[in-house]
Chains A and B, each alone.
Chain A
Amino acid sequence: QQPVQSPQAVILREGEDAVINCSSSKALYSVHWYRQKHGEAPVFLMILLKGGEQKGHEKISASFNEKKQQSSLYLTASQLSYSGTYFCGTPETHYGQNFVFGPGTRLSVLP
């Protein structure tokens, strides 16, 4: 079962902040975040692991609440290059198998 994301879309001005949420009805073993620009491949941004470990993009932060089965991606002082669709994803098993993505959040940053 795929994660749920909110909001579906958000429009910002350069320099504004945004939060994208990801939640699941099932246990989250880890959470990945990817950004996909129109016509391009998804690009890995960050992974959040149980226990609080994070690995990824220096200018993007995220949180992972294991008990609530939720993760949030924080985009601060947004730049035009942040525009794209953001997907969260998670493996369905502890061993990392059957990776499922959320439906995506479309972010548009305007000058």
Chain B
Amino acid sequence: ETGVTQSPTHLIKTRGQQVTLRCSSQSGHNTVSWYQQALGQGPQFIFQYYREEENGRGNFPPRFSGLQFPNYSSELNVNALELDDSALYLCASSGTGEYGYTFGSGTRLTVV
């Protein structure tokens, strides 16, 4: 079975720009969650999608938005980038009746 894949692996953007990060969930998984992980900290929950609907949201501003597609892949969009958005963005998927989340390797976003 394929795992969770994220693209791109690294990205450098300028403050004020917009960015789209992509995630392909593990085969058979219908739930995708996105996390922001700053250096030396635990992952912070951004939001979760279940069957194309947002199913929970953390304490992030509306400029963080997402989508889930019929094949359960997902996108994270961040508008008006700020320097503090620099972090590792992790995508995780899970399936009905399964336990635990499978994480992708992440996208390292640097905002300059």
| Chain A residues packing against B (C-beta within 8 Å) | 2, 32, 34, 40-44, 46-47, 55-56, 87, 93, 97-104
Contact = CB atoms under 8 A, between A and B. Distances in A.
Nearest to B101: A44
Q: How large is the interface on B (under 10, 10 to 19, 20 to 34, 35 or more residues)?
A: 20 to 34
Nearest to B6: A41
B48 A2 contact: no
Contacts of B99: 44, 47, 55-56
A102 B35 CA distance: 13
B42 A101 contact: yes
B56 A98 contact: yes
A93 B55 CA distance: 11
Interface string B29-49: 000010100000111110010
Contacts of A55: 99-100
Nearest to B105: A41
Contacts of A46: 100
